[in-house]
């Protein structure tokens, strides 16, 4: 039996700067909203970023801005569930192994439900903290139809032009330099 699960994806090094701990690329991931359950809004900026836009990597307990829908074998799914259960027990205070296993099963089932998409689809999350609760919204990022164009283009580009250059004199603009 083959299922789909989210795997952490790092397109650039920014996760290492915006989160206290960044997940390693390729880790199995879950939503991670449970980390913030029952607490006041996070006190630090990096924790707020994790709440707002992070997926939790199961291996490192680090955060990732993006995940990719990936095929997982039954053995990989079971290993991810066992690892998450162990993490819930040791790091998040699950009262016993059975409770940790049940919570891990529920978290992975939710993560798998996000992956009813073609393999390779990139998913992002946006969470809001409101009235003491967390609202999650997930969106997919898809490649452009024109594969010749870069998927992630720079914001600015130099373009050659045959037109005459415009000169702007700031002194003559309203509110310009005196």
Q: What is the pLDDT of residue 134?
A: 86
Q: In the chain, what are the domain boundaries?
A: 2-141
The answer to whether the CB of 69 falls within 8 A of the CB of 118 is yes
Going by C-beta distance under 8 Å and a sequence separation of 6 or more, which residues neighbour residue 53?
Answer: 65, 124, 125, 126, 127
Angle at 100 (CA atoms; ends 98, 105), nearest 5 degrees: 95
Task: Convert the pLDDT of each residue in 76-100 to its tens digit.
Answer: 999 999 999 999 999 999 999 999 9
* The model scores a pTM over 0.95: no
**Residues β-bridged to residue 159:** none
pLDDT for 156 equals: 62
Q: Tell me the per-residue pLDDT of 108-165, one tens digit each, with 9 for 90 and over.
A: 999 999 999 999 999 999 998 877 688 899 999 876 665 555 555 566 666 676 777 7
Structure tokens at 162: 């045959």
């Amino acid at each position: 039996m083959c299922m789909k699960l989210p795997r952490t994806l790092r397109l650039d090094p920014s996760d290492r700067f915006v989160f206290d701990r960044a997940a390693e690329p390729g880790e199995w991931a879950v939503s991670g909203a449970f980390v913030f359950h029952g607490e006041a809004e996070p006190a630090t900026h990096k924790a707020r970023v994790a709440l707002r836009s992070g997926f939790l990597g199961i291996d490192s307990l680090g955060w990732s801005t993006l995940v990719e829908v990936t095929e997982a074998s039954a053995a990989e799914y079971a290993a991810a569930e066992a690892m998450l259960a162990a993490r819930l027990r040791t790091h998040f205070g699950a009262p016993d192994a059975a409770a940790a296993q049940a919570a891990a099963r529920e978290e992975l089932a939710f993560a798998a439900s996000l992956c009813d998409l073609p393999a390779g689809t990139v998913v992002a999350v946006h969470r809001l903290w409101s009235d003491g609760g967390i609202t999650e919204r997930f969106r997919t990022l898809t490649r452009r139809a024109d594969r010749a164009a870069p998927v992630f283009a720079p914001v600015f580009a130099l373009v050659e032009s045959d037109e005459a250059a415009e000169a702007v004199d700031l002194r003559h603009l309203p509110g310009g330099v005196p």
